[in-house]
Amino acid sequence: MSKPINKIVIVGGGSAGWMTACTLIQRLENREIVLIEDPNTPTVGVGESTLGFINDWLRLLRIKDTDFMKACDATYKMSISFTDFYKKGAGTFHYPFGPIDTNGNKYAKNDWYLMKFLHPETPLSDYADSVYPIMSLVNANRISLEDNIVPGFKFSRDVAYHFDAVKFAIWLRDYFAVPKGVKHIQALVKDIATDENGIKKLVLDNGHEIYADLFIDCTGFKSLLLGETMKEPFMSFNDILPNNSAWAAQIPYDNKREEIVPYTDCWALGNGWVWNTPLWSGLGTGYVYSDKYISDEEALEEFKEHLKHKGKLREDQMFRKIKFRAGVSERLWVKNVCAIGLSAGFIEPLESNGLYSVHMFLVRLLRALDRDKEERLVTQFDKDGYNWSCRVMFDNFAQFVAMHYSMSLRNDTEYWRDVGNRSYCDVFKSLQRGSSRNESFIAAYESKYITTRFSDDGINAVATGLNHFPTDMHYIHWMNDSGFNLAEEFEQITKHLKEKKEIWDYRASKCPTVYDFTKERIYHGKE
């Protein structure tokens, strides 16, 4: 039988724990919210990269960029770049934020593919430049508060953030959660007692016993409550995602004005990929790889060689080793235990999904907890629905990340040959379970072979960067029964796309640089 949920205890701090505490104390009325964290638990600050969706969560809590960015060493972000993912030496493509410019129905994104076939020398990077107006800002390293400075651009929606995740958690704790009433207990959970309802109580190292109606696990990969205590099975993603390790470092800028760019930079190497996250004080960087194909020591040397090639290797450079697991708990809410963050699941850093899953899960949890405002009851149906919706979202995002590997044509190392030869049959079978086509790489396959037209979702940018098009010359000739002049039609498209880019580039050139804008808006003119 359902019990009212009046007291909620969060175990674990970090960004997941404090985001959870902030959300619950802000959006739930008259509930007791407690957060317990071990003050001796080490934190890993590698530079966090977010997606535009975080703005929805910030608005939910009424937090503005100017509230937290200075305290968190933050900069702005409008895209993610990918270098050498398609083939070694193939160059860079972008996954931009913001809407595409369809200009009605005639000169939409699909027409770029028609132009590409007439001019095959056109680089894959030109796709994002031609259909995403925000790329004019990204390419010029400029930004603006003005909505529609380029078509469809909206600052409050299309601009995300790079920041120090450790500092972000501290800011949420000191300037939001605790002042609003979250009870903060610094102690180690020494023992956990269970009963037929789940967790009965926590016993702390200070001797205190903690009871609650709902326990939320934010203990990271340890998954102390959901995994260790409730014994919930962990479902690995190793069948589609190869990586499980990373080396991380912080590197000072040589030219801060030029190196602070509005995108996360990802470079594919022989056994994984390198991230570059520009914070205000310096560059957060790291090498994500699989220890199945290369040892930790060899990976570090490969990373150092990359940094040396980029002129970024320092003699006294410090590196931190990180181990992670790609996967998700079979259920995220079991009896009176719910997991948020790494304790629930993790994909890998590619596509900046770490905090994305946190705030997306929190919205679902919030709506379940607040369905019954009077008695505050939560049924098993609510829990099952939560588990299903979170798993669908998480599984689909994992497939989206896997797309960067599955569609790659790299074959220069065993690592890339293996990811290209994996079986993806089970992923395609997920369609039979009701997965969302628009959020997985199935969307790209379906667009190419069934609908021959991409949707408006960002899946099209990544697929195109990997040379996977929904329209090709074979299909055009197959469908062309009207006898129109293909070359003449395509030339008109080419001309129009070029004219649009010139207008966007001109408007972007009138905006302040990302460095100057951030310096004045966030750091008040200080370095």
Residues labelled as active-site residues: 77
Q: For residue 318, what are the contacts with CB-CB under 8 A and spacing of at least 6?
A: 249, 250
Number of other residues whose CB lies within 10 A of the CB of residue 77: 27
- Whole-angstrom CA distances from 78 to 156, 159, 258, 289, 467 are 11, 5, 16, 25, 22
Q: Which tokens belong to 276?
A: 């570059």
Look at residues 344, 340, 312, 306 and name the one whose alpha carbon lies nearest to residue 325. 344
**Spatial distance between the Cα atoms of 176 and 22, rounded to a whole number of angstroms:** 7
Look at residues 19, 21, 31, 38 and name the one whose alpha carbon lies nearest to residue 178. 21
Number of other residues whose CB lies within 10 A of the CB of residue 104: 7
Given the DSSP bridges, would you call strands 283-289 and 320-323 parallel, antiparallel or unpaired?
unpaired
Q: Which tokens belong to 195?
A: 């009963």
Look at residues 460, 400, 449, 456 and name the one whose alpha carbon lies nearest to residue 127. 460
Question: In the β-sheet with 209-210, what is the strand arrangement from edge to edge?
Answer: 189-195, 198-204, 209-210
Decide if 347 contacts 398 (C-beta within 8 A): yes
Q: For residue 240, what are the contacts with CB-CB under 8 A and spacing of at least 6?
A: 398, 399, 402, 405, 406, 422, 424, 427
